[in-house]
Amino acid sequence: MKQKYLKLLGLLLICVNSAFSQQVLDKIVAIVDDDIILESQITQTAYYMGMQIGVDPMKNPKQFQELKDSALENLINKSLLLIQAEKDTIEADQRQVDNYLQQDMQRIIQQVGGEDKIEATLGMPMSKFRRTRREEIEKDLRVNAVRDQKLANITVSRREVEQFFKNHQDSIGTARESVDISHILITTKPGQKAKEDTYQKMKEIRKMIMDGQDLGELAGKYSEDPGSATNKGDLGFVSRTSLVREYAEAALKLNPGEISDIVESQFGYHIIRLEEKRGEKIHTSHILLSIKPNKEDDLAAAQKIKEIHARLIEGADFNEMVKEFSEDESTNQQNGHLGNFEVDQLRNMAKEFVFALRGVEPGHYSEPIKTQYGFHILKLNARNEARQYSLETDWDLIENMALEYKKQQELQKWITSIKEEVFVQIKEPVKNL
C-alpha cells in the first residue's frame, strides 16, 4: 500500500544497536534558537539513513561518520523550518497526525516483531514511545507544510530538464526492472460480535473496579497497552494534545480519583482514572482492550475479495470496482494506482506482491493475496525491463527529477537566509562524537 508518510518524512529509527547506544552518554551537539540537538538524535537519524542505503556502521565507520554529518545538517534544517512554521502559524491537522501515528505504530510493530521487542530495544514503555512518535509526526507535518508552501510555485522549463539530464546522466544510472501496479484493498475489520464481546469484557472489568478492586492491579492483569500495563496502567503526566481526542475529552471531565465510563478510541475500549490535573497536563491511569477481528471477520474479508475478483474476471471495470469497494483511501482517487516500483524495491516492501505478480500479463489481475494490511487484488499495468534512461522514453520521470533538484536548490537557499536571522551554534564537531 502507498505509504505517503514514508516518502515525506524521516522516521525515528527503532532498531538502534542497543550495545552501541548504551556506550554513549548523551550530550548537546547544537543549539538552534531555543531548540537543542542531542548526540542521540544524530546517531538515531544516521542509523536510519544507513539502514535506507545499506550502510553498516560497524563495517563502514567512515561512511557512517559522513551520515552523521548529514544527520546533523538535516536536524538543524528541520529546527529552522519549524521556527518558520511558527512564524507563519502553520499547524498540523490533528486527525492527520492521529492517522499517521496509527499507521506508523502498526508498521513499526510489524517490522520489529512486537511491542515487547520495541520496549526492550528502546528501553521505554510503548506509551512513552507513542507520545514521542506523535510529537515527531506533528513536527514533520508542520515542516512539510511550510516547505511545500514555499516551493509550490516552482516549475522547470524544457530546456532546464534537458540540461539537468545532460549534467546528471551518469549519476542517474539505469532503470531497473519495474512494475506499474494498481490494487483493490479489503481490510479485516472487527465485526459486531467482536466489538460486543470486547465491550462485554470491559463492562465486567469496570464492574470489578466499581466493586472495589484496584484499577492498577486489574490493568496489570487485563490491559493490552503493554507500555502502561506493567506500571499499573499509569501513563504519567502528559499534555492533552499527546492523547487521542476521545481519551483526552473523557479524562478532562473527571475529578481526581474518578473512574470513567467505557471510552472508545481508535485503539479500542478504555477505562480511565484521573489521578491529577496540573495546568494543561493530566495524569491518568487506564485499562485498554483492543478490538480484534475474529476468525469469522477474516473469513468474511477473504470471501469479499474473492467475489470482487470473480467479477473482475467476468469483465467488471477495475476503476469502478476500486471506487465501490477498495478501502485504501490513499489510492482511491487514483483508481487504485500504487505507482511504478522496481522489483527489488517491491520485494523489500511487500514480497507477497512480487510472488502474486509472477506470470501475470499487463492488463490482467493477480489472484487475491493477503498481507499485513488486508486482502488485495493487484492489477499489472505495465512490466518494464532494465534499460538506460532516455529523454524520449522517460521524460516525465526525468522532469520530476529536475524539478525536485531545483526545489532542493531553492530550499537550501531559503534555509540559508533563515539561518542568518536565527542563532545557530554547533557546540561539538560531529567528528568528535
- Alpha-carbon Rg for the chain in angstroms: 25
Tracing cell 482511491 back to the chain, one arrives at 332
Mean pLDDT along residues 174-201: 94
Q: Does domain 4-155+411-432 have CATH number 1.10.287?
A: no
Q: Fold match between 175-189+294-387 and 192-289?
A: yes
Residue 17: what pLDDT? 35
Domain segments of the chain as ranges:
4-155+411-432, 175-189+294-387, 192-289
Distance CA 244, CA 267 (A): 9
Q: Residue 111: pLDDT band by 50, 70, 90 thresholds?
A: low
Residue 15 has pLDDT above 50, yes or no: no
pLDDT at 4: 34
Q: Determine the pLDDT at residue 279.
A: 81
Whether pLDDT at 59 is above 50: yes
Which residues have C-beta within 8 Å of that of residue 380, sequence separation ≥ 6?
179, 180, 181, 357, 360, 361, 362, 363, 364, 365, 366
Residue-level pLDDT at 10:
31
Cell of 418: 533563515
pTM above 0.85, yes or no: no
Indicate if the pLDDT at residue 125 is higher than 60.
Answer: yes
Whether 174 contacts 386, CB under 8 Å: yes
DSSP string over 116-161: HHHHHHHTS-HHHHHHHHHHHHHHHHHHHHHHHHHHTT----HHHH
**CB proximity list for 63: less than 8 A, separation 6 or greater:** 50, 55
CATH number belonging to domain 175-189+294-387? 3.10.50.40
Q: Count Cβ atoms below 10 Å from residue 31 Cβ, excluding itself.
A: 16
- Is CATH 3.30.70.20 what the domain over 192-289 is classified as, yes or no? no
| Cα of 295 vs its chain's centroid, Å | 27
CB 77 within 8 A of CB 415: yes
